Amino acid sequence: MGAYDPPVPTPETFARRLDARVAEALDRRLVDRISTGRSTWLARAAAFLLVTPVHLVSIALAAGGVALAVLGGGWWQWSMAAFLLGVAWMTRPRVWGSVERDTILVDPAEAPLLTALVADVADLLGTRAPDEIRLDSSFNAYVAARRFRGRQLVLGAPLWAACEPQSRIALLGHEVGHLAHGDLLSLRYVGSAYSTLSHWVALLDPMGSEVFLHSTPVLVRAILAPPRWLVLGYLRLVDAVNSAASRRQELYADLASALAAGTDGAVDSLEVGLIHDGVDAAANRAAVDPTRPALGESIAARVAAYDAGQREAARRRGASDGRSIDASHPPTVDRLRLIESVERSTAAVVLDPDRSRLIDKELAPHLEQAFKRLGDRYRFVR
């Protein structure tokens, strides 16, 4: 659900280039529709419809296993019950709470200013504040589900350090905007079905990710390949449809960002994503420097050194290569075009530099831990 991860390099093929051109055209039309108030919910509805059979099959497997276990009168029925329950258990959704292993919990009592700031943004956008705020070491920010009704906000320490005070409000506005628009419902319903489909693919190929790249007996490969390819095709269809819905969600979250931080703050926040390569290089140099300068300060100094001409050059590069976070996000330049094409907003929540520094001070132990992890990744590349 977050933003600002750099795109993962993938082999360039004609099909991939064609997909990128189609997505680019659709994204531009989507920006135009949203900027004029003419967007629809068709993509999200289609994604929900596509994954509903997956949930029904999961329920049927579990219910069938329980029924056979309770009503069965022989070993073969109990064996079948164990098989069905085993499949239901192995392919169960594993979405909730998955961020907790790699993130650092921020105790509200230790960070009252940040907690209050997030609550102010949530009040502005008419939604409940996240139950937990966490930090990690990625150049990213996102919201995630926590158990049944809980919600988490995860802030990447490098991204937080790269943002100026009002850009931080834009960052919070974007992520809390996802909560205000009910996007966690998609994570729970569509994301959990996507997880189940992925487990089905793995179950149909227990020896590896590709059927014909290992020494599984030929007969087993012949039996498992057709159903695996069928499930894999359905998984990719869900991925394609849900990516369209996700791009729409990102654009509405951008509008929430501008509402909270003002147009200028939202633009600055998005432009930080376009200069990620420079930020990454600055953090890398700081991590391997024998004097061990503070990574957060090095990142902030590098961003501050970008002048207007360099930012404009980054925009041109982003426009030429269609740079985006991933397939679930429109190109960043289209997101900027949306923010700059709608009526300008003044900041509804203002974060002055002094308060921003106080927030950094209360987050200092957690930021230090996150930057240590980031530095270790740079220094100990495998």
Residue 203's pLDDT is what?
Answer: 79
Q: Is 187's pLDDT higher than 70?
A: yes
- Residue pair 235/194 in contact by the 8 Å Cβ criterion: yes
pLDDT digits (tens, 9 = 90+) for 106-121: 999 999 999 999 999 9
Least confident of 52-56, 175-179, 219-223, 291-295: 219-223
Q: What is the pLDDT of residues 258-299, one digit of tens each?
A: 999 999 999 999 999 888 888 889 889 988 888 888 898 999
d(CA 269, CA 4): 10
Q: What are phi and psi of 85, to 5 degrees?
A: -65, -35
The larger pLDDT score, comparing residue 2 to residue 139, is at: 139
Q: What pLDDT shows up at residue 37?
A: 54
Domain assignment of residue 321, given as a range: 1-40+106-382
Task: Report the number of distinct structural domains present in the chain.
Answer: 1
pLDDT at position 220 is 67
Q: pLDDT category, 15, cuts 50, 70, 90?
A: very low
Spatial distance between the Cα atoms of 322 and 22, rounded to a whole number of angstroms: 12
Look at residues 193, 202, 190 and name the one whose alpha carbon lies nearest to residue 87: 202
Mean pLDDT of 300-308: 88
Q: Examine residue 12 and state whether it is found in any structural domain, yes or no.
A: yes
Each residue of 120-154: pLDDT tens digit? 999 999 999 999 999 999 998 999 888 777 899 99
Whether 65 and 85 have beta carbons less than 8 Å apart is answered as yes
User: Which token pair is 103?
Assistant: 């993130």
Q: Is residue 49 part of a domain?
A: no
Asked if the structure places residue 9 within a domain, the reply is yes
Query: Does 185 reside within a domain?
Result: yes
CA distances to 11, 38, 221, 228 from 213, in Å: 19, 48, 10, 14
Q: Is residue 86 part of a domain?
A: no
pTM: 0.80
Query: b/e per residue, 26-57, with b = 16+ CB within 10 A?
Result: ebeebbeebbeeebeeebbebbbebbeebeeb
pLDDT at 90 over 90: no
Tell me the pLDDT band of 36, cut-offs 50, 70 and 90.
Answer: low
Q: Does residue 33 form part of some domain?
A: yes
Greater confidence (99 vs 74) lies with 74
Residue 215 has pLDDT above 70, yes or no: no
Least confident piece of the model among 62-66, 133-137, 186-190: 186-190
**Per-residue pLDDT at 11:** 44
pLDDT at 88: 82
Has residue 159 been placed in a domain? yes
The answer, yes or no, to whether residue 307 has pLDDT greater than 90, is: no
Enter the tokens of residue 216.
Answer: 């599984």
In this structure, is residue 99 part of a structural domain? no
Q: What is the model's pLDDT at position 171?
A: 96
Is residue 42 classed as helix, strand or coil in its secondary structure?
Answer: helix
pLDDT band at residue 321, thresholds of 50, 70 and 90? confident
Residue 7 has a pLDDT of 37
Q: What is the pLDDT of residue 10?
A: 43
User: What's the chain's average pLDDT?
Assistant: 81
Does position 98 have pLDDT exceeding 70, yes or no? no
- Local confidence band at 381 (pLDDT 50, 70, 90 cut-offs): low
Q: What percent of the chain has pLDDT over 70?
A: 82
CA dist 308 and 64 (Å) reads 63
* Cβ atoms of residues 153 and 131 within 8 Å: no
